[in-house]
Amino acid sequence: MMSKILVTGSVGQIGSELTMVLRGIYGNDNVVAGVNRTQPGEKLRDSGPWEACDCTNTDLVDSVVKKHKIDVIYHLAAILSAVAEAKPDLAWKVNIDGLYNVLEVAREHGCAVFVPSSIGAFGPTTPLDDTPQDTIQRPTSMYGVTKVAGELLCDYYFKRFQVDTRGLRYPGIISNETLPGGGTTDYAVEIFYEAIKHKKYTCPLGAGTFLDMMYMPDAIDGAIKLMEAESGKLKHRNAFNVTAMSFDPEILAAEVKKYIPEFTMDYNVDPVKQGIADSWPNNMDDSEARKQWGWEPKYTLPVMVKDMIEVLSKKLG
Ligand code: NAD
Ligand code: AKB
């Protein structure tokens, strides 16, 4: 049976690309782009259906799911870590109340739900190297609090109501279509725009800050592969550690310099972002995702950097 899919937060960094890939696979008319206040861009608007879908409004989510007979929801609407620290009330409303509403609608209409978690679901007492799939999760950021609660809520809806919830703990996602939405790992995208436009970048995270990262095509493949995986094979559902590379700003800058030799980087450390980054894993162990549903990222750091420079150089003229 062909899936009818709703993507919430579809104009965001991940949604803007995931929606288009889903349309390519499942058919344009079968993938509804859910938007909040921002109007969808031309690509999303002209290639398939779109609907206003503020996840804090249960009736609205319910009416979109009913109208389009949705059976799979990719729930991407969220407030990211740096914005969540500045606006904890909004983060709670969107990341917790919004998720609860989506799960309730999914329960009512029998939808499967993909919900991204994050490296932000870990905290300073987590083992930060080779972070295991099952380990201490005591995050100290508002974003992290909502991500752990979200993982647990999704597990609960599966156990209690058999809602087919699945999720990935994404690391920082690097992409060239839509700018990131206010996270701690945004520097790893911004550096490319600044290097190409101005040949210099001021980094808000200090040298030596190692974090897991991933290129967008792998992030999209992972989400779809997990949603297509045979349910019986999944021992964990919410949420799988997944990573593709780990680096600090110095290593990334050195890689960028290979293409733009005159590029220079200095630092102006943002204490909020640095505090969050220091509490997140340096590199996660994603062997459970590899074992249970065949996770296998394709992009290494050098391949990702080459592609980012090529694509953005064309895009930015
Ligand atoms: P983003 O900030 O780029 O996009 C989120 C979208 O949600 C935005 O378009 C925003 O307008 C929308 N939104 C906000 N409030 C809403 C509401 N009330 N109703 C409906 N939509 C609303 O975020 P993203 O990077 O695309 O992230 C998608 C998901 O992946 C989030 O759950 C995020 O926590 C997770 N994630 C992202 C990254 C990353 O590096 N991008 C890493 C780990 C996890
Ligand atoms: C953020 O930095 O908030 C996100 C994430 C890793 O969850 N990019």
Nearest residue by C-alpha to atom 17 in ligand 1 = 54
Q: Rounded to an integer, what distance in angstroms lies between the CA atom of residue 79 and that of residue 90?
A: 8
d(CA 30, CA 71): 10
Mean predicted confidence (pLDDT) in 145-169: 98
Q: Is 170 in the pocket of ligand 1 (CB under 6 A)?
A: yes
**pLDDT tier at 10 (50, 70, 90 boundaries)?**
very high
Q: Name the residue with the closest Cα to ligand 2, atom 1.
A: 183
pLDDT of 37 over the 90 cut: no
The reply to whether ligand 2 has any atom less than 6 angstroms from the CB of 121 is no
Select 172-213+244-282+298-315's CATH number: 3.40.50, 3.90.25, 3.90.660, 3.30.870: 3.90.25
Kindly state the helix (H) or strand (E) to which residue 264 belongs, with its residue range.
strand 264-267
pLDDT score of 38: 75
What is the Cα–Cα distance from 79 to 243, expressed in whole angstroms? Answer: 21
What is the chain's alpha carbon radius of gyration, rounded to the nearest angstrom? Answer: 19
Class of domain 5-171+216-241: alpha beta
Q: Residues near 252 by Cβ (< 8 Å), separated by ≥ 6? A: 188, 191, 301, 305
What average pLDDT does the segment 289-297 reach?
98
In percent, the amount of the chain with pLDDT more than 90 equals 97
Residue 115 has a pLDDT of 98
Read off the pLDDT of residues 177-192 as tens digits, 9 standing for 90 and up.
Answer: 999 999 999 999 999 9
Q: What is the number of the ligand closest to the CA of 85?
A: 2
Q: Is 38 in the pocket of ligand 1 (CB under 6 A)?
A: yes
Annotated active-site residue 201? The verdict is no
Ligand nearest to the CA of 147: 1
Separation of CA 120 and ligand 1 centre (Å): 13
Q: Over range 62-88, report the average pLDDT.
A: 98
Q: Among the options 74, 143, 157, 299, which is catalytic?
A: 143
pLDDT exceeds cutoff 70 at 1 = no
User: Is residue 241 within 6 Å of ligand 2 at its C-beta?
Assistant: no
Domain ranges of the chain: 5-171+216-241, 172-213+244-282+298-315
Would you say the CB of residue 142 lies under 6 angstroms from ligand 2? no
pLDDT at 317: 84
Within 8 A by CB and 6+ apart from 279, the residues are 122, 123, 124, 139, 140, 141, 144
Residue recorded with tokens 């209409």:
109
